Amino acid sequence: MSTTLFTPYTLRELTVPNRVWMPPMCQYSAAPAGEAAGVPTDWHYTHQAARAAGGTGLIITEATAVSPEGRISPYDLGLWNDTQVEAFRRITDFLKAQGTVPAVQLGHAGRKASTERTWVDRGRALSPEEEHGWTPLAPSALPFSPEHTTPEELTVDQIGGIVRQFADAARRALAAGFQVVEVHGAHGYLIHQFLSPESNRRTDAYGGSFEGRIRFALEVVDAVREVWPQELPLFFRVSATDWLTENPQDDREGWTSQDTVRLAKELQAHGVDLLDVSTGGLVPDAAIEAAPGYQVPFAEAVRDQAGLPVAAVGLITEPAQAQEILAAGRADAVLLGRELLRNPSWARHAAGQLGGEVHTPVQYHRA
């Protein structure tokens, strides 16, 4: 079997050693307040270092907030100050030493902000009156669920301010040693909230038509691309569908796979190099039938119809499965989330099965 999974992949002037990538997965393990807020800890270092030592080609640091109020939870990472930059350098230096490309996902949670850690009361919403809680911001004053705080509708000036926060965070990401920035436009967070007509009821230039609803996303991409080096790639993560129009019993109007293909063409024209294709997250009650590789067709559609490179994600667990996706031209890389949580050395084990090679630390050669 040819090992597409373990061939290098080049975007702009950056070459990733293989196609086994780790997606951003929030660890909710930073300090919630004070000078250490948003600063990576020993946990974040160990979490990423183990996967780099295991042969993973590219690691995307979890959703990293561009502002304190943009955090999903008070325990999220951030890149809104220079203290955070210094702490991230320790991680990116180690990843590069192992041959792994360090990437970071920059995001703003919008109406899904101010929640507990997922293992505390199932990540319940924190009200502004509670310790570490605050009032979320959103395109429209529509809460994520009845249990969530109704968000404050963003003014046009506030929208411009958030665009600048993304650019400032990208500058800090470069100073922190990251080689890829990913803009988080998926999973029901702020950019996705602007994209979907289910969460965006604005009547100004940032709402209504498809062109209005994608305006904020393109402004963020333009601002990030302007400060991000031309030789380094820019990713964008998208939820290819809200899973609303696929359900005949659901009369809500959501973001669709056809919308995603249209957006992909626009993103490519604005300097995005790869689309990280996921789904869902906009509403808490969407009917999703998950199965192995269930999101791959959405990535494949973007690759075929928009001509933009894609990474596929979602219940990709077996080496032969990952290899088939790439060899068939359905995606350019695969992102393994829970599987890499279970097995930090998945890439090395897969290389052994498929006849590929990954970087092995000299300390591990005896194994």
d(CA 25, CA 276): 14
CATH at residue 319: 3.20.20.70
Nearest to 231 by CA among 273, 182, 274: 273
pLDDT 10s digits, 87-119: 999 999 999 999 999 999 999 999 999 999 999
pLDDT at 57: 98
Q: Which residues does residue 183 pair with via DSSP β-bridges, in sequence order?
A: 106, 236
pLDDT at 42: 98
pLDDT 10s digits, 321-357: 999 999 999 999 999 999 999 999 999 999 999 999 9
365 found inside a domain: no
220 found inside a domain: yes
How confident is the model over 17-24, as a mean pLDDT?
98
pLDDT of 312 higher than 60: yes
Beta strands in the chain (DSSP E): 9-11, 14-16, 20-22, 58-65, 77-78, 101-107, 137-138, 152-153, 180-185, 234-239, 274-278, 310-313, 333-335
Nearest to 327 by CA among 6, 37, 110: 6
| For the chain, percent of residues with pLDDT exceeding 90 | 95
d(CA 178, CA 101): 8
- Tell me the chain's radius of gyration from C-alpha atoms: 19
31 found inside a domain: yes
pLDDT band at 151 (very low <50, low <70, confident <90, very high): very high
363 found inside a domain: no
How confident is the model over 19-41, as a mean pLDDT?
98
pLDDT 10s digits, 266-305: 999 999 999 999 999 999 999 998 999 999 999 999 999 9
pLDDT 10s digits, 216-259: 999 999 999 999 999 999 999 999 999 998 888 888 989 999 99
| For the chain, percent of residues with pLDDT exceeding 70 | 99
How confident is the model over 137-166, as a mean pLDDT?
98
pLDDT band at 3 (very low <50, low <70, confident <90, very high): confident
pLDDT at 1: 43
Count structural domains, the chain.
1
* Amino acid found at 279: T
What residues are annotated to the active site? 189
DSSP secondary structure letter of residue 121: G
362 found inside a domain: no
Spatial contact of 240 and 302, defined as CB atoms under 8 Å apart = yes
pLDDT at 333: 98
249 found inside a domain: yes
d(CA 23, CA 293): 15
pLDDT of 56 higher than 60: yes
pLDDT at 245: 85
| Domain extent at residue 94 | 4-356
105 found inside a domain: yes
Spatial contact of 166 and 226, defined as CB atoms under 8 Å apart = no
Longest dimension (CA), the chain: 64
pLDDT at 2: 54
364 found inside a domain: no
Q: Could you count the other beta carbons within 10 Å of the beta carbon of residue 313? A: 25
